[in-house]
Amino acid sequence: MPQAEINRILVDEALKGHRVVRLKGGDPYVLGRGGEEAEYCRQHGVEVEVVSGVTSAISVPAAAGIPVTHRGLAKGFSVVTGHEELSEVPARADHTIVLLMGVAALRDSAAALAAAGLPLDTPVGIVENGYLPNQRVTIGTLGSIADQAEATGIANPAVIVIGDVVRVSPFAPSHFRTANYSTTTPNSPRITARALTT
């Protein structure tokens, strides 16, 4: 349903005297258009109460055992949609990138990040249907993930996590694991990490 129609229904039903609840997955104020909906309602005389959830950008990776930050692997993260320009996002494996609504543009996003300098062997995890019985986790590299996604039919809803934090997931292949990385000395390998295959 187009956003303008959602806005109209919220206001129309509220003005009829109905108590209206707009349920959104995750936090409606993190790439969820909750702010737009609240603003529209208030402009039309409808009071709004917001009950924030936990954004899917953090909770869905957690469902797959992927923290968006992790001592020794990543100190910060960026959340963007797959449709946004990625040139402003730090292209380093130690800065986690979380893509929401990014499945359709995954190949283009991976190419843009590679062109910005992110190594092709950077780990990438995709979590489909987070927390549902049919949750599926696919793990690859920046260089392989688009082909993997097409081959396995990955579809939305999905959250894509790009960066070394993917190594922490219990779903990660053994050569991705954090055993080669210090968890007490930030960004310092304990031993020389093995090359990741793409």
**What does the pLDDT look like over 124-148, one tens digit per residue?**
999 999 999 999 999 999 999 999 9
78 close to 69: Cβ distance less than 8 angstroms: no
Mean pLDDT calculated for residue range 22-41: 87
CATH architecture of 56-180: 2-Layer Sandwich (3.30)
- pLDDT tens digits for range 44-54: 999 999 888 88
Q: What is the mean pLDDT of residues 68-82?
A: 90
> Residue 198 above 60 pLDDT?
no
**pTM for this prediction:** 0.80
b/e sequence 176-196, b meaning 16+ C-beta within 10 Å: bebeebeeeeeeeeeeeeeeb
Which pLDDT score, from 0 to 100, does residue 23 have?
A: 87
Task: Give every CB contact of residue 193 below 8 A, 6+ residues apart in sequence.
Answer: 180, 181
Domain map of the chain by residue range?
A: 3-43, 56-180
**Which segment of 20-34, 99-113, 137-151 scores lowest on mean pLDDT?**
20-34
Q: What is the mean pLDDT of residues 156-171?
A: 93
Return the pLDDT at 180: 45
Q: To the nearest whole number, what is the mean pLDDT of the chain?
A: 86
State what percent of residues in the chain have pLDDT above 90: 65
φ/ψ (deg, to 5) at 50:
-105, 130
CA distance 139 to 162: 10
Q: Which residue has the higher pLDDT, 180 or 12?
A: 12
Per DSSP, 74 falls in state B
User: Who's near 2: CB < 8 A, 6+ residues apart?
Assistant: none
